Structure 1
Amino acid sequence: MTQWYYSDNERNRHGPLDGAQMIERHGRGELGPDTLVWRDGLPQWQPWRDLAGELIAETGFSAAPDPAQVLAERVDSVVGTAVADAHERADDAVDAAAARNPAGTAAPLQDEPQASPAEALRTEPTSANTGDTAAFASTSSANPSDTYLPSRAVDEPDSPYAAPRAGVAEDMSVVLGHEVVYAGFWKRLAAYMIDGLLVTITYYAVNTVLVLGGMVAFGAASGFDSAKWLTSGADSMFILYTVLSYVLMGAISLSYYAGFESSSMQATLGKLAVGIKVVDAQGRRLSRGRAIGRWFAAMLSYLSLYVGYLLIAFTDRKQGLHDMVAKTQVVDRWAYTARPELQNRTLGTVALVILILAGLIWAAVVGVLLVALGFAAFSS
C-alpha cells in the first residue's frame, strides 16, 4: 500500500496517508494544485497537480502553465527592473553633475551609456528573485560583478520538503495484513555470533582499563611493594574482582541488547547485518521495559542448557523460550512495513558467511584438541 505525504502552506508535513485519505483531503480542498506531495518511489516532492491523476480521474485542475512562458515572464520582469534602475542611476548622476557645475564652465555633460540588459543583470542583483531556491551573497562589496556564492544549502536538513527516507529506522508505522517472514534458527545464530563477539570485545576493553586502574590504585596504596600485595587482602580483592567482572559483563550485555532492540533500528548490530529485527506480538517496536524483560528472560534459555534457544528451530513463529516469555518475535527487517515483498526468505549472504567461518574455526579447534590428545596418548 503506497504511503503519501504532503506539505501545507505553513510548511507542516502531513502523513503517512493512504490513497483514500488523500482523495478525502482533495475533496475538502486541503490539496491545491501547487501543494507539494511525495509518495514512495519519488526522488523529490512534486505538485499535487502532477500526481493527482494517479488517484482521481477528474481533478478539476487547470492545465499547468507553460514553463517556457513562466521563465520568459520572469526574465522580462528582472530585465525591466534592472533597466529602470540603470536609468534612475543615470538621472541621479546627471542631477549631481549639474549641481556641482551650475555655471556650465566645464565641458558639457554627456549621457552615460545605457547598460545592456545582460550587463545590468551581471552588475546589479535585484530582489526579483528572492523567492528562488538559493540566496546569493557577494564576495566583494567593491566589485559587484564578482562571483556570487550560495549563502545556504538548497536542501536544508530540517526542511519539511525533504523527501521521507525509506527504511526500518525511519518509518515506525506498522502495516498489517501481509505475510510475515520469521527469522529462523540459523539466521538468528549468525546474528548471535556477531553480537557475542562485539559484546566480548567491549567487555575486555573496559575490563582491561579497570584492571590496570585498580592495579595502579592498589599499588599506590601499598607503596608499590610487591610483598604487601600478597599480605594485604589479596584474596578479598580477587573475590571482589570476580564479582565485578560478572556484573560488568551483564551490564554491557544488557545495555547492548536492550538499547539496540528498543531503538529506532529495532535490532542489534548482528541482527541488522543479517537483515532481521525484534518486534512485539503485534509487530510494533519494543518498549525499553519489554526489551529489558526480554534480556532477563534469555537467562531461562541459558539455564535450560540452551534448550530454550533450540525451540526456535521447532516453533511455528520461530520463537525461543525468552521470546515466548517476553511476547516478542524476530522477523525480517521488511516485515510489518509497506514493502513486505522485500522480505528475504533465504539465509542470506552475511549469515551464510558467518556460519561457514564459525564452522571452520570450530573444526580447527576440535582438530587441534584431537591432535593434542593423540600426541599425549602416544607419549605416555
Structure 2
Amino acid sequence: MDDMTSSNAEPPQAKTVEFAGFWIRLAATLIDTVIILVITLPLMYVIYGDAYFEQGLLYYGYADLLISYLFPIIATVVLWMRLSATPGKMVFHLKVVDERSYNKPGLGQSLVRYLGYFISAIPMGIGFLRVGWHKKKQGLHDTLARTLVIKDQQD
C-alpha cells in the first residue's frame, strides 16, 4: 500500500466524476481564509495588541507561529483527512480525494498537498492557475499529493 493514501479501496466503477474548476475552488479558499482570519486575528490582537498589526513583520513571536502558521496547517490537514473538505469546500459540496481510490487523503498525502501550496504559489501562482486548464482540474499541489477536488455526488 502506498504510504500516501488512506486506503487501498478501488476507485468507483462506472461513476461519473465532476472535477471542481478554478473559480469554485477560489471561492472556497476565500471562505476558508475569512474563517481563519476571524479566528486568528482577534487572538493575535489580544496577545500582541496594536503592535502586531503596525509592525508588518512576517513573524512576531511564538504565539504568532502557533496561531497564524501551525493552527491553519493542522486544521486544514485534519479536515481533509476526516471530512475530505474544509468549510469553504463544504459550502460548495466539494471533496478532496485520493486520485486513485477516491477515498479521503491520508496524513502524508494531506501534508504534501498543503506544503505543495507554497510550490504552487511560485512563480506568480502558476501552480494554482493550472487548475483552469488541467484535464482533471489539478493544481500542482494536487499532482504532487496525487489528489483531486471533485464535486460530491452524494448531494
Same fold (TM over 0.5): yes
Change (3 A) 1:332 1:307: same
Which residue is 1:140 aligned to? none
CA distance in 2, matches of 1:195, 1:255: 14
Change (3 A) 1:324 1:186: same
SS at match of 1:303: coil
The offset of 1:250, in angstroms, is 1.5
Letter in 2 for 1:192: T
Tell me the alpha carbon deviations over residues 67-122 of structure 1, each in whole angstroms, 9 at most, x when there is no partner: xxxxxxxxxxxxxxxxxxxxxxxxxxxxxxxxxxxxxxxxxxxxxxxxxxxxxxxx
SS at match of 1:272: helix
CA distance in 2, matches of 1:269, 1:240: 26
Residues 199 and 256 in structure 1, CA contact (< 8 A), matched pair in contact too: no
The offset of 1:239, in angstroms, is 7.3
1:274 corresponds to 2:92: yes
Tell me the alpha carbon deviations over residues 336-370 of structure 1, each in whole angstroms, 9 at most, x when there is no partner: xxx5xx5xxxxxxxxxxxxxxxxxxxxxxxxxxxx
Which residue is 2:39 aligned to? 202
Letter in 2 for 1:200: L
CA distance in 2, matches of 1:317, 1:240: 35
Please say which structure displays the higher CA radius of gyration. Answer: 1
CA distance in 1, matches of 2:43, 2:37: 10
The offset of 1:174, in angstroms, is 5.8
Which residue is 2:22 aligned to? 185
SS at match of 1:259: helix
The offset of 1:261, in angstroms, is 0.8
- Which of 324, 333, 337 is matched with 2:152 structurally? 333
Letter in 2 for 1:296: L
SS at match of 2:121: helix
Letter in 2 for 1:279: V
CA distance in 1, matches of 2:60, 2:31: 25
Change (3 A) 1:209 1:176: farther
Change (3 A) 1:239 1:328: closer
The offset of 1:176, in angstroms, is 2.7
SS at match of 1:258: helix
CA distance in 1, matches of 2:65, 2:122: 16
Tell me the alpha carbon deviations over residues 176-207 of structure 1, each in whole angstroms, 9 at most, x when there is no partner: 32111000111101101100111111111221
SS at match of 1:210: helix
CA distance in 2, matches of 1:331, 1:239: 37
CA distance in 2, matches of 1:211, 1:262: 33
1:259 corresponds to 2:73: no
Question: 1:75-86, aligned counterparts within 5 Å?
Answer: none
Q: Percent identity?
A: 26
Change (3 A) 1:305 1:206: same
Give the unaligned 5+ runs of structure 2.
1-8, 50-55
Question: 1:47-126, aligned counterparts within 5 Å?
Answer: none
- Tell me the number of residue pairs that the alignment of Structure 1 and Structure 2 aligns: 139
Letter in 2 for 1:209: V
Change (3 A) 1:330 1:241: closer
Tell me the alpha carbon deviations over residues 131-158 of structure 1, each in whole angstroms, 9 at most, x when there is no partner: xxxxxxxxxxxxxxxxxxxxxxxxxxxx
